[in-house]
A and B are shown apart, each in its own frame.
Chain A
Amino acid sequence: SAVISQKPSRDICQRGTSLTIQCQVDSQVTMMFWYRQQPGQSLTLIATANQGSEATYESGFVIDKFPISRPNLTFSTLTVSNMSPEDSSIYLCSVGVDGTGELFFGEGSRLTVL
C-alpha cells in the first residue's frame, strides 16, 4: 500500500485566485493521478502526473487551468487557477502501486470558491 498526504485538507478561496494542492507519498511510485469530485458526483480524472515531463490531461481539462508539477517520484502539485465557484470540489491525489493495478487515494482537498 501507500500513504498519501495532501495539503491543504480544505480551503475557502476568493473568485479569481489560484490555489496549489500538494501531494506527498511515502514511497516512490510511477503512476500518480489527480481527480476531481464535484458536489454529489463521482470522481473524474483530471490528469496523469508524469515525472520529468508534462502531465497528460483528460478531455475537458487544460494545463492553463490545472497546471501540474511532478518533480520526483514521491511528490506532485496541482494548481487550480483563476478559480470560480464552479471549481468548488474535492480534489484527490491517487497513486498506482506497481504490478497490482490497485489505486490508493489521499484524503482529498476540499475547495470552496466564493
Chain B
Amino acid sequence: KQEVTQIPAALSVPEGENLVLNCSFTDSAIYNLQWFRQDPGKGLTSLLLIQSSQREQTSGRLNASLDKSSGRSTLYIAASQPGDSATYLCAVQTGANNLFFGTGTRLTVIP
C-alpha cells in the first residue's frame, strides 16, 4: 500500500525566507502528485499538479519538483509571506480513485 510521508510536520520561518517542504512516497508507480494548501478548518486548495512524466511545475512563488524513481517531491516557496501560513499537503494518485495523502506540514511565517 502506498504510504506518503511529509517532513517536517511543522515549520516556522521569518517572513521573506525561502523554504522547502518535503514529501516522500513508497511506491513510485504513480499517475501524478498534487500539492494542496489547507487553512485551519477549511477545505483544500490545489496548488500544483505534477504528472508522472514531468519533473517540475511552477506557479508564481511556488515550484514543485518530482523525482519519481526516488519517491520524492519538494515544494519550494520563495520569499515567504505571512499569508503563506497554512498546512501543506501532498497527495499521490495511483489510480482513478486512489489518492493517498500525507499528513501535512504546518507552516507558520512570522512577520
Taking Cβ atoms with an 8 Å cutoff, the residues of A that contact B are 1, 4, 6, 10, 31, 33, 41-43, 45, 48, 56, 90, 92, 94, 96, 100-108, 110
Q: Are B46 and A92 within 8 A (Cβ)?
A: no
**Is the beta-carbon distance between B44 and A92 smaller than 8 angstroms?**
yes
- B residues contacting the other copy or chain, number (CB 8 A): 23
Question: In the complex where A105-B43, A108-B42 touch, is A48 in contact with B32 (Cβ < 8 A)?
Answer: no
Complex CA gap A6/B44 in Å reads 13
Task: Return the chain B residue nearest A33 by Cβ.
Answer: B97
Query: Count of A-B contacts with CB under 8 A?
Result: 57
Residues of B within 8 A of A90 (CB): 41, 43
Distance between Cα atoms of A96 and B44 in the complex (Å): 13
B residues near A (Cβ < 8 Å) are: 31-32, 34, 36, 41-46, 49, 51, 89, 91, 93, 96-99, 101-104
User: CB-CB < 8 A to B98: which residues of A?
Assistant: 45
**Residues of chain B contacted by A43 (CB below 8 angstroms):** 44, 89, 91, 101
